[in-house]
Amino acid sequence: MILSPSERCPLHKQKPFTCPCHRVQGRKMQKGSRWEVVRLGVRRIRDEFADHPDGYRYKLSHAEMRKVLLKKIEEQDGKCAGCGKAFETLIGISPDHIKPRGMNAARRDDRAENIQALCDACQYEKGSRRPAA
């Protein structure tokens, strides 16, 4: 049962986002899924072809990806990693996977070290290619 934000859980007498049974339901995990929940908004799966030594690929929710993107903008001093132009607003900035995996990011790895902030023009130009070595 999905509750509205104003309703309380009949079992735990808590609001849906603080109730343990509804937080799990909100994750929309399929039964028998191989994805392991690290914390709310972060999932991982064991991958033998992962680029990281721990052998996992991570997938972030939109909110977690936004947090990573804001940190990357700070690390890059407010400049695009592709063309080097300074960002004027947050509109037109997109997260880019440095090492993309598969078409439409089917096997992507959302680790912070694999994300960079690009302007939309550079993102469109780069596409799903890896950077030149």
Do 79 and 120 have their domain in common? yes
Q: Radius of gyration of the chain from Cα atoms?
A: 18
Q: Would residue 13 count as lying in a domain?
A: yes
Q: How confident is the model at residue 20 (pLDDT cuts 50, 70, 90)?
A: low
**How many domains is the chain built from?**
2
Give the mean pLDDT of 4-12. Answer: 69
The reported pLDDT for the residue numbered 26 is 42
Domain for residue 1, yes or no? yes
107-128 pLDDT tens trace: 788 889 999 999 999 988 987 7
Alpha-carbon distance values, 52 to 2, 43, 46, 133 (Å): 38, 15, 11, 18
State pLDDT tens for residues 26-65.
Answer: 444 455 678 888 888 899 888 887 778 888 889 999 999 9
Clarify whether residues 24 and 67 are in a common domain: no
Domain for residue 96, yes or no? yes
Both 66 and 119 in a single domain? yes
The answer to whether 95 and 72 have CB atoms below 8 angstroms apart is yes
Residue 133 lies in a domain: no
Nearest CA to 25 out of 38, 6, 9 is that of: 9
Position 24 scores a pLDDT of 45
Q: Give the mean model confidence (pLDDT) for residues 75-84.
A: 93
In which domain, by residue range, is 23 found? 1-30
Q: How far apart are CA 25 and CA 16, in angstroms?
A: 10
Quickly list H helices, the chain: 20-26, 62-75, 120-126
Q: Do 17 and 73 belong to one domain?
A: no
